[in-house]
Structure 1
Amino acid sequence: MGSKVIDSSQMGDTILAVLPKFIGDAINTLPALELLKKLYPTKRICVLIRPFMAGLFSRAEHYGLELILDKRYCEKAQYGVFDMIRELKSYNFSMAILFRGSFRDALQIRLSGIKTIVGYAQNARSPLLSHALKLNQCEHYIHRYCKLINDPHGQPFKQFNAPTLQPKKLKSFTFNKRNVALYLGGSVKGARFYPQDLSQELLLRIKEQHDANLYLLGAQSEQADMDSLKCDLERKGVTVINLAGSMSLEELVDTIGMMDVMISIDSGPMHIAAACNIPCIAIIGQGTSPWSIVAPKSDSLIALHHRSMSFSDSQMIRDVNPDKICQALQKAINSSN
């Protein structure tokens, strides 16, 4: 990394943070952005995000961030790399923090005329960075992000806070029963998808054991799988409310915030639940990253890890059976009483 410590008093009025493209990763940058705001309380802290992420950050307004939508990812937008570079130049940023490890992001920021650029030395982009930190692959993502702020500034902080979101209250939910949401994924999630037969068994067991309103969550791409699950359950006399594909991202945050308990695969909704301080049971099969570096830093999360000996990725999650999940659900309910 660059040996010179960044002097916060020498930075200009606007600072840029380039955020990751996935929901869970973006949530995990919030503690680092909070540190950045503490270092620069009077500066404009702008975050460059994918347009769909705006709803998420509408529930993170307490961090005092200004959003810049990356219009290259707007539907049917005629907006290219050089359009983005020209837009970034207009802000006259004095520093950029790259929370993504992309070479293209680093090149784009360098071409935008920003001189102080902080990021990890990966993907052959070190020459583009003024402060290139060595990446420790074993560190939790939140630690990685916070070190991008703390280390180049001479390590002024000893610790950081967990990420938080502030959901809005919804009037459409009833509280005569417990509200339990389930994000089980869909076939698009591959090996992380909680299988349909086990999902059906799980919901039947929950309904037998608890007087609760059950909500299925998911994206549009998962709507058909959740519709199928709902139909199978209704044939067995079990009523569930399928919200998959019907909500914006901010509505998803608000909905999860109304729950008593969340059951989720390793996913963005799991991170949302943790950031909203909602008790969450995480079903951990074969993930996209090692669990130790992505696990939410929340005391109210119960992680159920597979113990499968199968070589098949899709079989691993089956080891987390409905019985284990129901036991965890009872534990979460007992803890919240």
Structure 2
Amino acid sequence: MKIINPNKITGPILVVLPKFIGDVINTLPALTLLSELYPNQTIFLLARPHLCELLKKTDIKNIKVIEDNRTSKLELHSLLHLTKQLRDYHFSLALLFRGSLREAILCKFAGIQHIIGYAQNLRSGLLSHSLKLNPCHHYIHRYCRLVNDTHGKPFDTYSVPKLLPQPPSSSVLNNSTLKVGLYFGGQNKGSRHYPKELARQVVILLKEQVQCHLYIFGDLSESSDNADLQQALNLSDTQITDLSGKTTLSTLIDTIAVMDLMISIDSGPMHMACAVNTPCVALVGFGTSPWSLVEPKNDNFIAAKNSSKSLIEPDIIASITPHSIVKAGRMLLNS
């Protein structure tokens, strides 16, 4: 593979980002390396609209965002429209942090000379610099390799993902009581969702053992699941605030940042907590990727892993006991 000389890349740079929150957070170390290689170049990030708020929380100085507004209903029309839009930038280099064939076609049709990506999904012929994917590498390592290996391996290490929150405006969050965030997911999370009855037991144990105010997180589609949880608790002296469906992605990050502890399934809020250095207990059931590939590289973190022998995927996470979750949370609070 021919090594890219940064001095010969004179035009702007395009990075095609993944679609999901946790994956995008895991690209931040690679974007930092790319920014160090090209301190005087503008790095444009092609990102889905809901991710644009997240990207404003970074300290990478020379990045700008292009909203990826493609829709599945008008896929060909959307692809052609975006291709024309990208051509007007005259990009010299593109890095594909998504592994699909469609993204390689997009960059090729946009006339980008240097296209970096992994040789997968029949797209090798469209890439100028293709790497063989090592499926054992952590996702952060994978993204960093696309930058580092194609430029002659100038870096030996990478930093952990970091987001820069702003103080939340809500006065509810400004009290001195310990604040614990909870994200158990809804039915939309499938096998990653922590069952309601076990979640109820977590809340009861927390209130018995820790003087704290609890905040339940979730998107609008998870509101009914969280409402069911609160109804099942039926606590008269409750100090629980349900924020599901009431935060933007930006304010969710800001709110998680002021928590003294976050308890979350393996999902976006877990990655957010680690990126703002909020102590976090992760509930690791049957995930969308092997845990070793997505586990946050953060010292302020405990993974409550399942010990299930179940062949029924949604039941796997149920082997994580409420007692073990609260015990891990107290360890983080005490430290």
Shift of residue 63 of structure 1?
A: 4.5
8 Å CA contact 1:72, 1:78 repeated in 2: no
**1:243 paired to 2:243:** yes
> What residue in structure 1 maps to residue 162 of structure 2?
164
> What residue in structure 1 maps to residue 91 of structure 2?
93
Shift of residue 228 of structure 1?
A: 1.2
**1:331 paired to 2:331:** yes
| Counterparts of 2:206 and 2:93, CA distance in 1 | 51
8 Å CA contact 1:33, 1:63 repeated in 2: no
Aligned residue pair count: 333
**1:11 paired to 2:15:** no
Cα deviation, 1:190-229, whole Å, max 9, x if unaligned, reads 1100000001111011011111110000011111100111
> What residue in structure 2 maps to residue 318 of structure 1?
318
8 Å CA contact 1:280, 1:301 repeated in 2: yes
Cα deviation, 1:23-50, whole Å, max 9, x if unaligned, reads 0000000000000000000000110000
| Counterpart code for 2:17 | L
| Counterparts of 1:234 and 1:13, CA distance in 2 | 60
- Bigger shift: residues 31-40 or 225-234: 225-234
| Counterparts of 1:74 and 1:287, CA distance in 2 | 25
8 Å CA contact 2:168, 2:251 repeated in 1: no
> What residue in structure 1 maps to residue 284 of structure 2?
284
| Counterpart code for 1:273 | A
8 Å CA contact 1:182, 1:262 repeated in 2: yes
> What residue in structure 2 maps to residue 228 of structure 1?
228
Cα deviation, 1:259-287, whole Å, max 9, x if unaligned, reads 11100000011000000011000000000
| Counterparts of 1:278 and 1:237, CA distance in 2 | 27
| Counterparts of 2:73 and 2:59, CA distance in 1 | 25
Segments ≥4 residues shifted beyond 2 Å: 61-64, 73-79, 234-239
SS in 2 for 1:256: helix
Shift of residue 13 of structure 1?
A: 2.8
> What residue in structure 2 maps to residue 110 of structure 1?
108
Cα deviation, 1:69-111, whole Å, max 9, x if unaligned, reads 0122599999611110011001000000000000000001100
Shift of residue 64 of structure 1?
A: 3.2
Equivalent of 2:137, from 124, 136, 139? Answer: 139
After TM superposition, the structure 1 = structure 2 runs for residues 249-260 of structure 1, keeping only pairs within 5 Å, are 249-260=249-260
Q: Which runs of 5+ in 1 are unaligned?
A: none
* Aligned Cα root-mean-square deviation (Å): 1.7
| Counterpart code for 1:167 | P
| Counterparts of 2:183 and 2:73, CA distance in 1 | 26
After TM superposition, the structure 1 = structure 2 runs for residues 76-87 of structure 1, keeping only pairs within 5 Å, are 80-87=78-85
8 Å CA contact 1:110, 1:128 repeated in 2: yes
SS in 1 for 2:70: helix
Q: Which runs of 5+ in 2 are unaligned?
A: none
1:169/1:78 CA distance change after superposition, 3 Å: farther
Shift of residue 175 of structure 1?
A: 3.0
- Identity of matched residues, %: 45
8 Å CA contact 1:259, 1:278 repeated in 2: yes
1:70/1:201 CA distance change after superposition, 3 Å: same
| Counterparts of 1:72 and 1:220, CA distance in 2 | 23
1:74/1:209 CA distance change after superposition, 3 Å: farther
Shift of residue 12 of structure 1?
A: 1.7
> What residue in structure 1 maps to residue 205 of structure 2?
205
8 Å CA contact 2:260, 2:278 repeated in 1: yes
Cα deviation, 1:221-253, whole Å, max 9, x if unaligned, reads 111100111122235643311001111100110
8 Å CA contact 2:41, 2:62 repeated in 1: no
Equivalent of 1:21, from 15, 19, 26? Answer: 19
- TM-score between the two structures when normalised by the length of structure 1: 0.96
| Counterpart code for 1:230 | Q
SS in 1 for 2:270: helix
After TM superposition, the structure 1 = structure 2 runs for residues 262-277 of structure 1, keeping only pairs within 5 Å, are 262-277=262-277
| Counterparts of 2:232 and 2:239, CA distance in 1 | 10
1:229/1:154 CA distance change after superposition, 3 Å: same
8 Å CA contact 2:213, 2:240 repeated in 1: yes
8 Å CA contact 2:35, 2:60 repeated in 1: no
SS in 1 for 2:98: coil
> What residue in structure 2 maps to residue 294 of structure 1?
294
| Counterpart code for 1:121 | A
8 Å CA contact 2:40, 2:62 repeated in 1: no
1:57/1:242 CA distance change after superposition, 3 Å: same
